[in-house]
Amino acid sequence: MASTSISAFRSSRAIAEFGNRSPSPAKWCIAPAKRAAAGDTLLSVRAPVGETNRADRPLAIGRGIAAIRFRDIEPEFGWHALNHAKRAFDRLAQGSTFEAIGAEVIRALELLLPPIEEQRAIAAVLDAVDDTIDRTEAVIAATEDLRRGLLHELLTRGVPGMHSEWRDVPGLGTVPACWNVTTLGELARSITSGSRGWSRFYRSSGALFVRSQNIVDGGIDQSDAIFVDPPQDGEAKRTRIRSRDLLITITGEPGKAAVAPNELGEAYVSQHVGLVRLTEDGLADFVGQFLRGEAGRGQLDRMAYGQTRPGLNLTNLEQVLVAVPADAERGAVVQASDSISSHLSDLVRSTCRLRELKAALSDALLTGCIRTRATIDA
């Protein structure tokens, strides 16, 4: 393979409008100082350095983005080659206030170039994987919309065919007339949160310390886990998580809710997470679904954003209204939502595997470890 450098013109605007592959502009101007043509690669040159998109139309660009137009190579190949090489920008980023790179750094980046026919073949392979990822992500988005719609219907109208009368509850909305409307405080045995100052107990391994960023939709994300060696005192006992406890973020992004799984092991909540222990373990899954639905999350959002600084307190959690059906219907609601959630998890895992495949193929094809002699017509 030969080598070449990228020809780039400096420009930019923030990456808030970047999409999966192409941006979605929110503003327009009449006489832009900097432009990107359709097909140009857009590269973030300020923190976060290295994020990329492709211009699918002529665009005006401001500071923070470089528009890159490849010369004497296949544009599709150049797009993939730059995405593979952009990890080098992390090492080159500079600036005392925030990470940034200049046009000279971009121009100096070297790319390995196979013959033009091989460039086209490599681009076709990687494009095919990207197209599959895009289709899978579209299915994920549609399935998430379906789950939200189904959950809203089940939590406001009940299981289809089971009800003929409904009532409006102030602050909650419409629910079946026979459902018991109560508060989270009345359903709970205890509502508490973690203690401050546990950073001195941080360890490289031990018991999981659950922070607000670890709470995701319905579960606990341990990819950025912190562990503690908890003190042997009442605070540890009070803040220890048991299976089927409800966990609700009260700062950061307040209002996210999850149910502690049976297999969690020893774990404790930080001061940014509310710990709700219900009087009945069998209520946890339904109440968790309710809090993640529009009726529950809407209440939490209104409570949080009605304060000076977005956040919730334990009194807020006690006051959240919950509409509870009988056991059989409660189980049906949870089963329906869990079924779609399981399908979503399978799709997300498929996407992760596809991204791993794309990374492996990029490494092999764009470094010359694997050569392809296929000829793809331009």
pLDDT in tens, 137-178: 999 999 999 888 988 899 889 999 999 999 999 989 899 999
Residue 268: pLDDT over 90: yes
Q: One-letter amino acid identity for 276?
A: V
Question: Which has the higher per-residue pLDDT, 29 or 220?
Answer: 220
Question: Which has the higher per-residue pLDDT, 28 or 4?
Answer: 28
Residue 329's alpha-carbon distances to 179, 239, 334, in angstroms, are 10, 32, 9
Mean pLDDT (the chain, rounded): 86
The beta strands (E) that lie in 88-245 are given as 110-113, 166-169, 173-176, 180-183, 188-193, 202-203, 207-210, 215-216, 219-220, 226-228
Residue 83: pLDDT over 50: yes
Angle subtended by helix axes 327-366 and 75-85, to nearest 10: 100
Cα–Cα dist 193/213, whole Å:
15
What is the rounded average pLDDT of the residues 110-114? 87
Say what the pLDDT of residue 27 is: 80
What is the rounded average pLDDT of the residues 365-376? 75
Domains of the chain: 2-113 (3.90.220.20), 115-158+326-378 (1.10.287.1120), 180-324 (3.90.220.20)
What is the rounded average pLDDT of the residues 338-357? 91
pLDDT band at 10 (very low <50, low <70, confident <90, very high): very low
Beta-carbon contacts of 203 under 8 Å, excluding residues fewer than 6 positions away, are: 227, 228, 229
For the chain, counts of helices (H) and of strands (E): 10, 22
Q: Whole-structure pTM over 0.75, yes or no?
A: no
Residue 47: pLDDT over 80: no
Say what the pLDDT of residue 306 is: 67
Residue 376: pLDDT over 60: no
Do residues 34 and 103 touch, judged by C-beta distance below 8 A? no
DSSP state of 205: S
Lowest mean pLDDT among 100-104, 166-170, 311-315, 325-329: 100-104
246-249 and 207-210: which strand pairing?
unpaired
pLDDT in tens, 200-253: 899 999 999 999 999 987 789 988 889 999 888 888 999 999 999 999 999 988
